[in-house]
Amino acid sequence: MKWIVIGFSTLLLTFLALLHLPSDRRLELYDVQDLVYNFTGFPSVDISLATSDPVDPIFEVNLIMIGSDLASRFQPLVPGSDVPVQFQNGLLIVRGTTAQHLAVRAALAAHRIRNSVVTSIIDGISHAKAALQVSLFGMITR
């Protein structure tokens, strides 16, 4: 999915370059706190005597990531920049042209949509699994 988002953004960047948008570089900050880990609280270690996880994950997804990983993922959208895309305090710091900023915005929107769709699917599967367990348990106890 990462390559689809980057591919779409690169295509958008190429299309916008044909429109002759201003090529002066400017600094923009993007709030990405919803896409990265928040290290404000450090939970204690969960100690359990269980031999395996009580709930088997259906599949592993990487919805939330480390800020530096997010910055490096967006670096290909700002080619030729003398300063790399940076992450600091929940903000993505990008120095680029108008077209590059449009590509970054499009990639951020696509990433947020992907997270929302995957979360909805996982929630739906979890609700269906819980409903199935309740109905099967109800049939056994009757």
Q: pLDDT of 65-123, one tens digit each?
A: 888 888 888 888 888 777 788 999 889 999 988 888 888 999 899 888 988 888 888 88
Distance, first Cα to last Cα, the chain: 46
For 113-139, the pLDDT digits (tens) are 988 888 888 888 888 888 887 777 766
Using CB atoms within 10 A of its CB, is residue 72 exposed (0-12), middle (13-18) or buried (19+)?
middle
pLDDT at 1: 45
Q: What is the SS3 assignment for 124?
A: helix
Instruction: Name the percent of the chain lying above pLDDT 70.
Output: 63
For 29-45, the pLDDT digits (tens) are 999 988 887 665 556 56
**Residue-averaged pLDDT of the chain:** 75
pTM as predicted: 0.63
Q: What gap in Å lies between CA 2 and CA 22, rounded to an integer?
A: 28
Q: What gap in Å lies between CA 83 and CA 94, rounded to an integer?
A: 8
CA angle 80, 90, 119 (to 5 degrees): 100
